[in-house]
């Protein structure tokens, strides 16, 4: 990934007059419009005129010493799952394109970004209705991962366009969602940072749901610090200087149950190298069994929360617009039709027990550390077969899903070296540990790629 600026460096440049909001927006728009780039696939809609108007407004406010935040004027992308006032929210689908009315208001998370002065550059492409960790979209095209682009590898999903927009400099941050890894997987596949917050910290209003039990709204960006800034805005919390946690003395647990199964060779090699680096720097790393993780496969055997809750939302739309759905998404939603009320209650109780037992097991540690995905970005051409797609989708989602089911928080950091296939390292913990995860991640992000 090119050496793109951070939010902090952009804020400094805006404050000093070295750049302007207008210039930043124009640069992003030029990259989106580049016919040799991924803009046409990464974005479903580009807010060119509105973004330029907002940029000029932010430049005037900064000149008058009235900028709403140090980040006012920085362009960010918004996943197509979120309401933006005056626009139709398609959720990466054609089924919502024609009959749906434009949104009456911004989703709260979009409104909070605007209130801080961030500029909405456009709506990013995604897996239809956020129901896949791969990122393929047959309706609007599939943006290619930054890895080996001439060959064409999947971007990761479901926040596919969000990750590519940041990696390619078409935006300087992105708003995504994460139900089973949809911020972290595309971050891992594109060499950037993705954060899944504790669900209750950020309102879910104004976003098309996949699973209201598991959905969370989070940021994708270039660094841990960038994600921390965006996370504070999304949660409507005061921004606090991020204090990196010293690596020496970190107490990290590597779960050997499920999380290390069936890893691609490059994933295993990069992950172990990162662990060795952290250990040499004084981190206390313990490999532990987490037998509770075996329960997740059982809970998801009939489709889990995502199938049950998405079917409840989609069941009438599928009757009238089912032919418009991506068949791979359609079949996954329909699994929810076979989940009874009793099954669903069993699932709620099983999850409650899973959370309590897992939290108790991991309590002695600062965080879990595990590969973000079991696989590296598969080739798009290799997933034309539905069976191959299903296998790689499951491998992409598996580790991230463990943390969503835990109601936890997690971050994916790039762990590969320059020139190597992208691999993400995930730090995760119980719900409410968000600040600690940011501090731990900030302490190690520059070390694990050495």
Beta-bridge partners for 122 = 46, 77
Kindly name the residue from 77, 79, 160, 412 that is annotated as catalytic: 79
The position carrying tokens 């060795």 is 276
202, two tokens = 């950020």
Kindly name the residue from 77, 145, 182, 433 that is annotated as catalytic: 182
Does the annotation count 79 as an active-site position?
yes
Does the annotation count 340 as an active-site position?
no
CB 175 within 8 A of CB 158: no
Integer Cα distance of 176 and 182 in angstroms:
7
Does the annotation count 158 as an active-site position?
yes
Kindly name the residue from 93, 158, 160, 211 that is annotated as catalytic: 158
- The residue among 199, 251, 198 whose CA lies nearest residue 362 is 251
Task: Give just the sign of the alpha carbon dihedral 110, 111, 115, 117.
Answer: positive
- Cα dist. 375→148, 154, 342, 392, 403 in Å? 15, 11, 35, 7, 18
Q: What is the set of active-site residues?
A: 79, 158, 182
């Amino acid at each position: 990934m090119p050496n793109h600026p951070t939010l902090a460096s952009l804020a400094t440049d805006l404050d000093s007059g070295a750049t302007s909001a207008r210039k930043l927006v124009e640069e992003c728009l030029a990259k989106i419009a580049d016919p040799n780039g991924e803009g046409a696939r990464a974005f479903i809609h580009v807010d060119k005129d509105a973004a330029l108007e907002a940029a000029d407004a932010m430049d005037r406010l900064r000149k008058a010493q009235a900028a709403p935040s140090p980040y006012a004027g920085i362009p960010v992308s918004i996943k197509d799952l979120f309401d933006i006032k005056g626009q139709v929210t398609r959720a990466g689908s054609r089924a919502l394109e024609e009959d749906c009315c434009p949104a009456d208001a911004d989703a709260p998370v979009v409104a909070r970004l605007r209130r801080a002065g961030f500029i909405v550059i456009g709506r990013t492409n995604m897996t239809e209705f956020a129901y896949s960790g791969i990122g393929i979209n047959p309706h609007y095209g599939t943006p290619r991962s930054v890895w080996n682009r001439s060959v064409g590898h999947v971007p990761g999903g479901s926040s596919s366009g969000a990750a590519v927009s940041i990696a390619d400099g078409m935006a300087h941050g992105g708003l995504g969602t994460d139900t089973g890894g949809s911020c972290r997987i595309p971050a891992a596949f594109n060499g950037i940072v993705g954060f899944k917050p504790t669900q209750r910290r950020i309102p879910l209003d104004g976003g098309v749901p996949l699973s209201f039990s598991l959905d969370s709204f989070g940021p994708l960006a270039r660094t841990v610090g960038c994600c921390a800034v965006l996370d504070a805005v999304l949660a409507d919390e005061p921004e606090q200087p991020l204090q990196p946690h010293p690596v020496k003395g970190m107490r990290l647990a590597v779960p050997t149950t499920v999380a290390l199964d069936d890893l691609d060779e490059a994933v295993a090699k990069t992950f172990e190298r990162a662990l060795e680096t952290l250990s040499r720097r004084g981190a206390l790393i313990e490999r532990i069994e987490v037998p509770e993780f075996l329960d997740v496969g059982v809970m998801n055997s009939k489709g889990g929360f995502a199938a049950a809750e998405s079917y409840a939302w989609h069941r009438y739309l599928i009757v009238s617009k089912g032919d418009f759905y991506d068949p791979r998404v359609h079949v996954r939603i329909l699994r929810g039709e076979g989940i009874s009320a009793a099954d669903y209650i069993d699932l709620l109780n099983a999850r409650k027990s899973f959370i309590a037992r897992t939290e108790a097991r991991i309590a002695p540690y600062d965080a879990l550390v595990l590969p973000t995905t079991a696989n590296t970005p598969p080739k798009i051409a290799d997933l034309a077969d539905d069976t191959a797609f299903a296998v790689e989708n499951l491998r992409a989602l598996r580790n991230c899903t463990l943390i969503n089911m835990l109601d936890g928080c997690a971050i994916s950091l790039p762990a590969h070296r320059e020139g190597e296939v992208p691999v993400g390292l995930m730090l995760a913990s119980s719900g409410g540990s968000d600040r600690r995860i940011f501090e731990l991640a900030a302490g190690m992000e520059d070390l694990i790629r050495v």
